[in-house]
Amino acid sequence: MTKQLHDNICEEHLFSSIFNKYSKDLHDFLYYKFGDRLNPKDKVQEAFVKLWQNCAKVRPDKAKSFVFTTANNLMLNEVAHQKVVLKHQQAKPKMHTNENPEFLMQEQEYNDKLQRALSNLTEPQRVAFLMNRIEGKRFKEIAELLDISTKAVEKRIYGALDKLRKEIKEL
């Protein structure tokens, strides 16, 4: 049994010699097993980067096994990822709705009525109403922004709601 000279591969010259010794064989192994589509050169580089990151844990006699196993796992992960990508590419987005044309027409008519009713509000009512309902601001925030009392904001919003109810009759 021979005695090992090194217990890890963190020395640059030792790591370089391992890289030079195994990188071509590793590339060929990955190329023959998986083909060129999954970038075997990149996976070889990644495997040796992982070897360098774990150099203190890997003995020189286990380096070949480490890089081959790591590179193979990287390629298997890439294959799995490509399967997921392919599955999502094949899934067709839904190009239809369950809403019938009559519903869509009614929705458009209602939206038109709402827009007309909003345009018929006074400007102070419309501003307060839209700040509350669209922007989600509270009465107190609106009062601070418009420099009026909260009671005035309440009156404007409730007045707007009353006018909208009368004009649309569907709220």
pLDDT at residue number 166: 87
Which of 83-97, 124-138, 155-169 is predicted least confidently?
A: 83-97
Q: Is the pTM of this model over 0.75?
A: no
**CA of 144: how far to CAs of 8, 128, 129, 141, 152, in Å?**
69, 12, 15, 5, 11
Taken in order of first residue, the domains within the chain and their CATH numbers are: 12-90 (no CATH), 101-168 (1.10.10.10)
Q: What is the pLDDT of residue 134?
A: 87
- Identify residue 117 by its one-letter amino acid code: A
In the predicted model, what is the mean pLDDT of the chain? Answer: 87
Please, which residues have CB within 8 angstroms of residue 26's CB and are 6 or more apart in sequence? 44, 47, 67, 68, 71
- 61, two tokens: 């006699």
What would the pLDDT profile of 96-134 be if each residue is shown by its tens digit?
A: 667 788 888 888 888 888 888 888 889 899 999 989 998
Half-sphere exposure of 60 (CA within 13 A, CB side): 16
Q: Give Cβ neighbours of residue 132 (< 8 Å, ≥ 6 apart).
A: 138, 139, 142, 153, 157
Query: Does the pLDDT value for residue 9 go beyond 90?
Result: no
Residue 17's pLDDT is 92
What is the mean pLDDT of the segment spanning 61-86? 91
Which of the four pLDDT bands, split at 50, 70 and 90, describes residue 3?
very low
22-57 burial by CB neighbour count: b if 16+ within 10 A, else e? bbeebbebbeeebeeebebeebbbbbbebbeeebee
Work out the percent of the chain whose per-residue pLDDT is above 90.
44
pLDDT at 33: 87
